[in-house]
Every structure is written in structure tokens, then in C-alpha cells.
Structure 1
Amino acid sequence: MGWEDELFALFDDLEGQAGALYAAERDLEVADRSRAEYQQVTLAGRLMASVGRTVTLGVLGVGTVTGTLERVADGWLLAASGDHDWVVALPAVTTASDVSERSVPEIAWSPLTRLSLASALRRIAEAGEPCLLHLRDGSRHEGLLRRVGADFCELVAGEGRRTVLVSFAALAAAQSQSASRAG
């Protein structure tokens, strides 16, 4: 091998090392950017990408809810589970499994997703079907939703027809007592 061949081999080797260093640096930069971008992903965004899938949720005051995720909206979600629908307040969701690896940013959501928890509860009240309200502390109230205010709902409960006001801040989920759809 002549000196020219050795020189070209040296240049090829140096070029290979420079390419490997660049690739390693680029991989670190891509990983760093990926981590930085992922911090923008919300639980609601991951759940939105999971609409139509069967998911398992851990819900404060309720425990485990498994059902088909039908809707995700501003502060709540709708899951169908057997004969029951669950309107779950997103702040009460502690865990979610079997969800999509993808995420849908809120800017890409339909305008219908801007409907609040109050809107979902009004639909239940309009249906006139009995429901079970689960509170984050584990207590429950069964009856008919009568009216829905800005930050609470009014439930007529029991045979004594007593009225119970339930703060949205305390509400974990509303469970339908029939197979009708809440959303």
C-alpha cells in the first residue's frame, strides 16, 4: 500500500469518526428535544387520542373504572362500561392504562370538547334517569339530578326526596343507572 492509499485511508477513518460523533451528538439533541416537547403533553391529550379504546382508569373515591372511552372534553370524560355510563371529572383520574401512545394537542380538539362538566351533568338531568354521584372522599349519593349550577349540581335523593347540593370540586364521577348515553 502506497503513501497515497494510507493518506486516503486516514482521511476515510477521520471522516467516519467525525460522522459518528455528529450522529451521537444529533441523537442526544433529538432525545433532549423530545423530552422538552413531551412536557407539553397533557393527560387529557393522551386520553383524547384514546377515544374509542377500552381503557382502565383509577378514579378518586371510586376505584377502578374500565370502559370504552367515548368522549374527552374540558375537565371531564365519558366512558361506557356495560350497562353504565361514567362521566368522570378529569382531576379525579389518578391513573390510566391501555391508552394510546399518541396524544392530541388541545388546539386540534373539536369545539364540542369545550363543553364543561356542567354541560355533561345537564344532559343527565335532562334525561331524567337516576344516577349515582361518587365523591372524591368515597361517599356516594343516589337520586335524580334536578338542576346544575356553575360549580355544583342539585340531586334529589332517597325516598324522603331530600335535596343534596354537590360541589364540582368534590365530585369524582357520575354513574348512570341505565344504559342511556350521557354525552
Structure 2
Amino acid sequence: MSWEHELFALFDDLEGQASALWEADREAELADRARSEYAAVTLAGRLMASRGQDVVLDLPHVGRVEGRLDRVGSGWCLVSGRGQDWIVPLRAVAGVHGASDRAVPEVAWSPVDRLGLGAALRRLADAEVRCLLHLVDGTRHEAYLVRVGADFVECRAGGGGDSLLVPYDGLVAVQSRDA
């Protein structure tokens, strides 16, 4: 073998090593980028991709809520099952089973999907639906939602009486009682 062939073989070998090092570095960079991108994925985004699917939510003092994930909004979701609807603030969710592997970023949501918990509660108040409010301390109140404020809901028991103000942070779930 001539010295030229040896030199070209050496260059080919060095080029192969450089290419392999570049690929390894690129794979590490792509993995790092994927981790960084996933850090921006929210629970609401994962749930938005799961709309229409059957899910199970684990809720404190309530247990498991099973049903079809019908809506996801800014900080809340609606699960329908067994003739009842559940409006659940996402901060109260202890676990989700059956969610999609995908996510829909909030920038891709429609304006209706961006509505907050208050909008969902106002629909119940407007419809005069009898509800069971599950609170973070484990108590429950069967009542009708009367008015919805910026960070609380006002409700009244079926027979009238005093109104009860419940801050959004005090809610675990609002369960419709009328089918």
C-alpha cells in the first residue's frame, strides 16, 4: 500500500471518528432539549389532549371520579359520568389515570377553552342546578349556586336559609346532582 493510500485511510478514519463524536454530541443535545421542552408542559395541556377520553381523577376527600373528560379550561376540567358532571379545579387533583401521552400547549387553545373556573360555575348558577360542593376540609354542602364572584362562589341550601361563600381555593369539586 502506498503512502497516499495510508494517508487517505487515516483521513477517512479520522473523519469517521469526528462524525461519530458529532452524532453523540447531537443526540445528547437533542435529549437535553426534549427534557427542557417537557418542563414547559402543564397538566392542563396534557388534559386538553385527553378531551373525549375516559379518565379517572383522584381527589382528596372524594376518592376516584371516573368519566369522560368533556372540557378543560384555564385551571379546571369537566368530567361527565354516571349521569353526573364534575367540575374540578386542577389544583385539587391528586392524580390522573388514562391521560393522553400528548399535550396541547395553551397557545393552541380556543378562547372558549381559556375560560376560568368562574365561567363553569356561572353556567351551573344560571341553570339553577342542584350541586354537591366538596371542600378541601372534607365537608360537603348540597346547595344551589347563586352568584359567582372573582374568587368565590355564593351558594344557598335548597330550603333557603343563609348563604355560604366558598372561595375557589376551598373547592375540591362541584358535583351536579340533577341529571
Give me the TM-score of the superposition, normalised by structure 2: 0.91
Question: SS of the counterpart of 1:169?
Answer: helix
Between the aligned partners of 1:95 and 1:2, the Cα distance in structure 2 is 69
Between the aligned partners of 2:79 and 2:134, the Cα distance in structure 1 is 15
Tell me if structure 2 keeps the 8 A contact 1:49–1:104.
yes
- The equivalent of 1:70 in structure 2 is 70
Between the aligned partners of 1:158 and 1:61, the Cα distance in structure 2 is 23
Cα drift, residue 92 of structure 1? 0.8
Between the aligned partners of 2:160 and 2:51, the Cα distance in structure 1 is 40
Q: Deviations over 1:32-60 (max 9, x none)?
A: 11111111111111111111111121223
Tell me if structure 2 keeps the 8 A contact 1:154–1:164.
yes
- The equivalent of 2:149 in structure 1 is 149
Runs of 4+ more than 6 Å apart:
none
Cα drift, residue 6 of structure 1? 3.7
Between the aligned partners of 2:31 and 2:14, the Cα distance in structure 1 is 26
Aligned length: 179
Give me the TM-score of the superposition, normalised by structure 1: 0.89
Percent of aligned positions that are identical: 57
Question: SS of the counterpart of 1:99?
Answer: coil
Amino acid at match of 1:177: R
Cα drift, residue 13 of structure 1? 2.2
Tell me if structure 2 keeps the 8 A contact 1:125–1:147.
yes
Q: Which runs of 5+ in 2 are unaligned?
A: none
- The equivalent of 1:121 in structure 2 is 121
Between the aligned partners of 1:103 and 1:29, the Cα distance in structure 2 is 22
Amino acid at match of 1:16: G
Q: Which runs of 5+ in 1 are unaligned?
A: none
Tell me if structure 1 keeps the 8 A contact 2:84–2:175.
yes
Between the aligned partners of 1:157 and 1:109, the Cα distance in structure 2 is 36
